Amino acid sequence: MNKIEYLERVKEFFTSSKVVKLFYLVVFTALVTAILASQNFFFQSIIENGISKKDIIAQKTLTVEDVKRTEQHKREVAQKVDPILVPAEDDFIKSNLETLQNSVLQIRKKHTSNREKIDELNILFDFSDNPKREFIVDFLLNVDEPSLREAFDKATLSLVNILKQGITENDYQRDNIKNLIMNNLVSNVSKRQIAVITAMLEQVIVPNLVVDEAATEMAKMNAQDSVKPYKVTFQKGEKIVFEGEPVTRLKRDALRQAGYNVYELNWQGILSIYILVLLVTLIFIAYLKVFEKKFLEPRYMSLAGMITALTCLTAVVLPTGTSPYVLPIPGVIIISAIFLSPRVSFLLSTLLLIILTVGMQFDVQFMIIFIILSLIGMITISKIHYTRRFDLIKVGFNLGVAGVLIMLSLYFIDKCLIDVSNYLILKNCAYIFLNGIINSIIVLGASPLLEGVFHIITPYGLAELGDHNQPLLKRLQMEAPGTYHHSMMVSTLCEAAAEAIGANPILARVGAFYHDIGKLKRPLFFVENQSYFSIENPHNKLNPRLSKMVITAHPKDGLEIAKKNGLPSVICDFIMQHHGEGIAKYFYNQAVQEEGAENVKEEQFRYTGPKPNTKETAILMIADAVESAVRAMKGATTDEIENIIDKIIVERLNDGQLADSPLTLKDIKIIAMTFSRILRGMQHNRIKYQENIAEEFAKNKIEMPNKILDEDFEKKIKELEDSKLPKPSDTQENDWSNDENKDL
């Protein structure tokens, strides 16, 4: 490998997409880490190596928890909690006693010497250190059967009493067991029986109370939770730390509450922050990769990165002691929900809050409040009407009110445990309420700027593009009126179908407005415009192949016009994909007739594509063909409309034009039903008005007045209509009451 090839390979490696993405990841995480770590420089001005460099005086009264002392007290309380004992299985012990008694009976029945029987009992019982061993052996072997049975029964009943009381590990000592047995013997036990019963029970008794580890641990935790935290108060004007004094955990907490950043700037701390930022970023990217792949594009990632970096920078540059509730978190929620999606907004804001809470040492309450607000914002923004910009201000107001309610609930809980200043509560409530409203106003004004910078079209941008006074739409109306009318009809179909299947109705409607702007380049070559200008069809003088080139060029022409006029890429997708890779059948069939089927290939008469890859563009493909076909069938019946819709959908499916779209068969069925309903409304019949009204005027010698409001004229017209027009039947009257006929 020569030097040039080596350099080419190195260049190719460093310019590959994976390396570039890795580079941006490292740069972003390093930038956010640097922003968060920069606030640690302030701590270096007052603390060095854990020693205070100057006296620091409290500017207000501070109450700080002595965490070290509180934790020590909790440990002491937990150690004093006795283990919680629960009964184990008792049947095993009872079974052992029964087995022991049966063994004694078997030994008594054996026809062996007395010595052998004694040896077997010695094996069965542990008589070590038992002074009454000989008496017990003699009793078990030689006493009469009823007396032995009586001793066995009393031993069983005594065991039941002992098991009810419970046997712990401490009880399982020889002396303790004897005392336990003696205290639980049944009544009427003779002295002879006591020794025998005690020997039998000592042989089978084992602890039946065991420690419940989980319950004991829970009891210890409850005991720890009951410990009230130790509080240390620094009065206003009192020194928090003295020059040269070691800064303990308590002093650090006091300094933090006073508004100082108390992280020491060292490589370990910076590395910890970087790992957290990197982990959070990878979680965000992984979520997008699995659930929201379309937002992995650079423009969306750049917007998310900019929002994160600016929010962290704002948190760092805020003056010492400023409430964290002035941070533009509501703005982050609203912007990301509009420009990305509500679900991505919730994830982004939650991960950002984690970074801020850890990196800036904010109270956990800060994170809880804004995470709940993120969830509320996700739900609220997904339901707003983007045609009304004031709805965005309502979202900010709702977030402010919700933030106040959440904050009050948390503070009321805190007041049950510690003393919280009412002034602090009211101040933070005011901050979070105003924060929601002000952020929504800022987002409303900044949205057009962000759309232009990041080339992301929002619902507000779509609403502006849907204004019929837009230059391109006005031009389409004047230069290609037939195409304009067709686009309006198609937009109605697309919007209704998109709403029916849960797609984006605003995007579908606006995309349909612009999908045929390529026809502006040669409007007279399209049949819908020829009748308006009363010209002969130019295709009559062209061969099919040339006509096909003119017709199939309009998506490409539309893309050029769209880029020239600054239309967003999402609208350009509608322009390029609304025919997919379909075939121009009319000119294909014409070419087959003229040249023969063997000389004509379908691929030569297809559009260049690509195929629709979203629900909205797939709906447009079907709606475009359906509207043209139904319009060509003047006076089509309901059955004819449904047949032509089904035919077009089947053709597109068989031709594979919908293969790249996410439409399901259920979606397609709903789309067909929606199209049928809308087209039936467009094809409704009207009453045929009196055509010879002028003759009737002449016949009745009625002069046409100059003023329409002439009462005599209106009266005579009404009399004429009543006398000449047929009266409607009941069915017609019902039909006329419909909304479709209100203008008759």
Place of tokens 């979520």: 287
pLDDT at 689: 52
What is the mean pLDDT of the segment spanning 25-54? 77
- Lowest mean pLDDT, pick from 82-96, 348-362, 407-421: 82-96
What digits encode the pLDDT tens for the residues 444-457?
Answer: 999 989 998 998 98
Indicate whether 363 and 341 sit together in one domain.
yes
8 A C-beta contact, residue 321 and residue 261 = no
Does one domain contain both 546 and 662?
Answer: yes
Specify if 23 maps to a domain: no
Contacts with 203 (C-beta within 8 Å, 6 or more apart), sequence order: 96, 100, 124, 125, 126
Residue 690 resides in a domain: no
Q: What is the mean pLDDT of the chain?
A: 82
- Last residue in a domain, options 655, 682, 709: 682
Q: Please give the average per-residue pLDDT across 117-124, as a whole number.
A: 80
Helix (H) or strand (E) holding 379: helix 364-381
Question: What digits encode the pLDDT tens for the residues 95-105?
Answer: 877 888 888 88
The answer to the question of residue 5 being in a domain is: no
Helical spans, DSSP H, in 515-601: 527-533, 544-552, 554-564, 569-577, 585-595
Query: What does the pLDDT look like over 327-376, one tens digit per residue?
Result: 999 999 999 999 999 999 999 999 999 999 988 888 889 999 999 999 99
**What letters, b where the CB count within 10 A reaches 16 and e where it falls short, cover 113-143?**
eeeebbebbeeebebeebeebeebbebbbeb
In the predicted structure, residue 78 carries a pLDDT above the cut 80: yes
Residue with tokens 């995309």: 511
Q: Residue 621: pLDDT above 90?
A: yes
668 token code pair: 């397609």
Are 520 and 570 within one domain? Answer: yes
Are residues 576 and 669 both part of a single domain? Answer: yes
Same structural domain, 309 and 452: yes
- Which pTM value belongs to this model? 0.62
Residues pairing with 87 in the sheet = 209
Q: Read off the pLDDT band of 173 (50, 70, 90).
A: low
Domain check: are 654 and 711 in the same one?
A: no
Residue scoring higher pLDDT (157 or 723): 157
- Banded pLDDT at 718 (limits 50, 70, 90): low
User: Which neighbouring-strand residues pair with 606?
Assistant: 583
Structural domain span for residue 560: 463-682
pLDDT winner (highest mean) among 29-43, 246-260, 528-542, 714-728 = 528-542
Work out how many domains the chain is built from and give that number: 5
Residue 21 lies in a domain: no
- Single-letter amino acid code for the residue at 15: T
715 and 673 belong to one structural domain: no
**For residue 185, pLDDT beyond 80:** no
Residue 706 has pLDDT above 70, yes or no: no
pLDDT(443) > 90: yes
Same domain, 303 and 275: yes
- CATH number of the CATH domain containing 602: 1.10.3210
Instruction: Provide φ and ψ at 626, rounded to 5°.
Output: -65, -45
> Based on the domain organization, do 555 and 591 belong to the same domain?
yes
- Quick one: pLDDT at residue 174? 55
Q: Is residue 729 part of a domain?
A: yes
Q: Whose CA is closest to 339, among 455, 466, 490, 484? A: 455
Q: What are phi and psi of 596, to 5 degrees?
A: 95, 145
d(CA 308, CA 349): 9
The most confident of 215-224, 389-398, 693-702, by mean pLDDT: 389-398
Tokens (6 digits) for 25: 């990841």
The verdict on residue 22 lying in a domain is no
The region of weakest confidence among 614-618, 672-676, 701-705 is: 701-705
Q: Is residue 621 part of a domain?
A: yes
The answer to whether residues 654 and 554 belong to one domain is yes
> Which three-class secondary structure state does DSSP give residue 278?
helix
pLDDT tier at 190 (50, 70, 90 boundaries)? confident
Check whether residue 622 and residue 481 sit in a common domain: yes
Q: CA 133, CA 131: separation in Å to the nearest integer?
A: 6
- Six token digits for residue 210: 């065991």
What stretch of H or E contains 87? Answer: strand 85-87
Q: Which range has highest mean pLDDT (223-232, 499-508, 675-684, 701-710)?
A: 499-508
Same domain? 646 vs 579: yes
Task: Give the CATH number for residue 296.
Answer: 1.10.1760
In a domain, 589, yes or no: yes
Q: Residue 49, Cβ neighbours under 10 Å: how many?
A: 8
- pLDDT tens-digit series, residues 559-598: 999 999 989 989 999 999 999 999 999 899 999 998 888 8
Q: Band of the pLDDT at 405, cuts 50, 70, 90?
A: very high
Backbone φ and ψ for 704, nearest 5 degrees, come out as -75, 120
Per-residue pLDDT of 456-485, as tens digits, reads 988 888 888 998 899 999 999 999 999 999
